[in-house]
Every structure is written in C-alpha cells, then in structure tokens.
Structure 1
Amino acid sequence: MQPQPPSLTGQLPALGAAHRSLRDQVAEVLRERIIRGALPPGTPLVERTLAEGLGVSRVPVRDALSLLKGEGYVTQEPRRGVVVTRLVRKDVEELFDVRLALEVLAVRLAAERATADDLAGLKETLRQSGLALKANDTEALLRSNQAFHDAITQMAKNDLLASLLNPLEGRLHWLLSQNDDPLPLHREHEKLYQAIASGDPDAAGRESVAHVTTSRELCLRRLYPER
C-alpha cells in the first residue's frame, strides 16, 4: 500500500515569526517531522494539503519543498509529485562515507578548540540523553543526541565545515531515529566526550571513527536486515 498524504491540520505550530521567512519556517517544520519519522519515506507531500494544514499560502510551501529537495529530504517522482525521499542502501552508505570524513575533522578541531563553557554544554547534552534513555523517551533522546552532534560542530569553530555538516547531520539523525537500541550510541557519546575533553585530537579522532562505524552498522542492520 502506498503512503497517503499526511493529515496536518491542528498538528503543526502556528507560523509567521517576523524574523524568519515563511519558507524557512515551513521547511523547518517539515524537516523536523521527517527526521522524527512522522512523515516516513515515500509519503506524498501535496502543496495544497500542506498549505491548509500550516495556514499559509502554497507559495512558501512550494519554496520550502524546493529547499528540502536540495537538502535531500524530498524527491520529485514521476506521476507522484514530491515525496519524502526513499533511501536505498547505496545512499545510506554514501552518507556515512561523507560523515566519516567530515565528523572526524569536526571532533579533532573540537578537541583542540573547546572552551570550558563548550565542554560544560556538551556534558549537559549527555546528561539529558541519559535521562531520556532511562525514561525510554524516544523523542527527548533524539533531540539530545542531535544537540550533542550540533554542539561538536559548533565547538570546531569552522563555518565552512558547519555548512557542510549541518544538512548531513539532519539526514543521519533521520536514519538513526529508526534505531531500536540507543544504548551503544549513548555509551559512545560518553567516550567521545571524554576524548574531546582530554584535548587530544588524535584520541578524539579515533573515538569518532569508532562512533561513526558503530552508527553505520546499526543503521544498515536495521534498514537492510537481509544482508
């Protein structure tokens, strides 16, 4: 059975903040729902339905979908229109290949450049992850895990690297949200924090390689169990 267009009425926040364009606000809402799994792969995204659900015109919805296409979250399919992207195994492996190269660099830079305040913030995201894990709160765990990686990207203090990592991280969080065993990743986050806090970029780089490798294995095992 093909996924049906989502019913969004009453489920999404009111939009219209003056400091941000409607396009960006619509894109953020849709991106978040894709990452959280509320809009699964293959779901049709119909401009009129989305516009009615969000209380906006079709123009910012169309512009937001164009933005999300560029980020890889949605795809234009013949005779079906825009749908949430379906990732095949090759797509997932390529995402992790690129993540390995970029994230290891971010972690190494974070180990060299992190301030005491940076480390305190990173440690707090770990604490929040631990609380979410104990409470079996999947939504909170996803948020805190994403905050952990976002914090490392900021700690690297490299704007170009951040611009390359940010859209990639969103898609990876989307994939990892389907992981049904978050404990191994949480433990690796703890090791990664310790390595960054030590100020040793080589040790931090090694932990980052191990973390990305584990993430890759868990994700592929979950999505493609037959191989």
Structure 2
Amino acid sequence: MAEAGAAGELESVRVTRILRDDIVLGRRMPGSRLVERDIAAELDVSRLPVREAIRTLVAEGVVVARPRTWAVVREFTRQELQDFGEVREAVETMIFVFAAQRRTAEGVARLRAVYEQEFAAAEAGDVEAARIAATRFHEVAAHLAANDTIFEMVSVFTTRLRWLFGQHDDLVETAEEHRVILEAVEAQDAAALRELIPQHTMNSVASAARRLGVDPASP
C-alpha cells in the first residue's frame, strides 16, 4: 500500500506539472474546462491524481473550482491584471535592485545565459522556449537578490507570475527589454532599474490583456 501511495503522489506531481505548464504557456486558455476523466485518459492516469492536481492549481490561483460542474482555467479580469501588475512591479523592482547591488560575476553569467537562450528562441520563433526562458530570467534574478523573505513572498504567487510572463507574443521585444535590464544589473545601476522594471511590468500586463481580449484602460 505504501508503494501505491508513493506512486500516486508522484503521479499527482507529474500531472500538476503538465497542467501547470499547459496553463502558463497558453496551451489551455482561460475559461477552458478541466474535465477529470478526459485529462486522466489523455495522460494515462487514474482520476485521483488529476483531482489532486486541480486542487493544487486552485490553491496556486490559476484554476477556479466550480461546484457540481467542471473546474476551469481562471479568467483574469482587467482589475485583477492591474492589481497583480502593481504588486509585481513593487516586488520585481526590489528583486532586480538587490540583484544588482549584490551581483557576482557568476550570478551575472547565469542571468546572461538565460537571456541568450531567450533571445535565440525568440529569433527562431520558438514561442514556448522563449516564454520559458523569459520566466526563467526573472526566477534567476530572484535567486540573485539573496533575500529569503522576498523569495518566500514570490513563491506564494509564482505560478501566476509565470502565467503573466507567458502571455507575450512580442518575443524579440521582450528579450530586448531583458537585455537592457541585464546590462543595468551588470552595471549595478539601481536608478536605471527603478525606471526599467515598472515599464517592463506595464508592458507585460498590456501583453497579457491583449492576449486575453481585456482592455487594461477601461474603467
């Protein structure tokens, strides 16, 4: 029985990862139904790990559970995008300023390697790879900030952060923004980052709004 339990736990982790990536990368769009039996058949698992995965994603804020019907991928409103963008702007500015102030040669090299992966994927038109690398760019910066409290804060809404970063279609432009941010980190230019990050955040929210058909400027 213990082996079966352990196997079930591993299956739920795998199913959660697959569904999370599908949502974050736009394979399952907001409003899409998550039907347990269909997902179980698709992934060749029982319905239990699918049910557990959906519960996890509800807790992470990207799936909405609807009693007596199907769970659905969360549809973000204009106000929710704006609210999340405001929080992200404040936290991300702190992250990149601290990353710049505490930068090391090894840390900058890690950040540059991720940017180069993103740029190469963007130029090649590899949408998923570019979006994954764009998300990774911010994750690496969070590590380089070397502040456990901020890292814990970010981990609470990391899936929603990944989702927001994954909505852009202007792949090369986003990579170019990351190049400028990278150079500011390398130069330890905190003043520049305090201007760059809010604009970068605004652009990300606008991209997400366009992709979802939400007017970010509407009342």
- Please give the TM-score of this superposition, normalised by the length of structure 1: 0.82
Q: State the distance in 1 between where 2:180 and 2:22 align.
A: 30
Q: State the distance in 2 between where 1:198 and 1:35 align.
A: 32
Structure 2 residue aligned with 1:28: 17
Cα 1:209–1:135 shift into 2, 3 Å: same
- Please give the TM-score of this superposition, normalised by the length of structure 2: 0.85
Matched, 1:185 2:183: no
Structure 2 residue aligned with 1:12: none
Structure 1 residue aligned with 2:70: 81
Q: State the distance in 2 between where 1:205 and 1:195 align.
A: 10
**Equivalence map 1:126-205=2 (5 Å):** 126-166=115-155, 168-205=157-194
Matched, 1:67 2:56: yes
Aligned-residue sequence identity (percent) comes to 33
Structure 2 residue aligned with 1:118: 107
User: Greater CA deviation, 35-44 or 199-208?
Assistant: 199-208
The gaps in structure 1 that reach 5 residues or longer are 1-16
Shift in Å, 1:45: 1.1
- 1:50 maps to which of 39, 44, 57: 39
The gaps in structure 2 that reach 5 residues or longer are 1-5
Considering fraction of residues, name the structure with more helix.
2
Shift in Å, 1:72: 0.8
What is the aligned residue count? 211
Confirm or deny: 8 A CA contact 1:110 1:196 kept in the other structure.
Answer: yes
Structure 1 residue aligned with 2:203: 214
Shift in Å, 1:166: 3.8
Q: State the distance in 1 between where 2:167 and 2:186 align.
A: 29
* 3-state SS, counterpart of residue 21 of structure 1: helix
User: Greater CA deviation, 185-194 or 168-177?
Assistant: 168-177
Cα 1:197–1:213 shift into 2, 3 Å: same
Moved over 6 A (4+): none
User: Greater CA deviation, 159-168 or 195-204?
Assistant: 159-168
Q: Which amino acid aligns with 1:149?
A: H
Shift in Å, 1:210: 2.2
* 3-state SS, counterpart of residue 77 of structure 1: coil
* 3-state SS, counterpart of residue 120 of structure 1: helix
Shift in Å, 1:104: 0.9
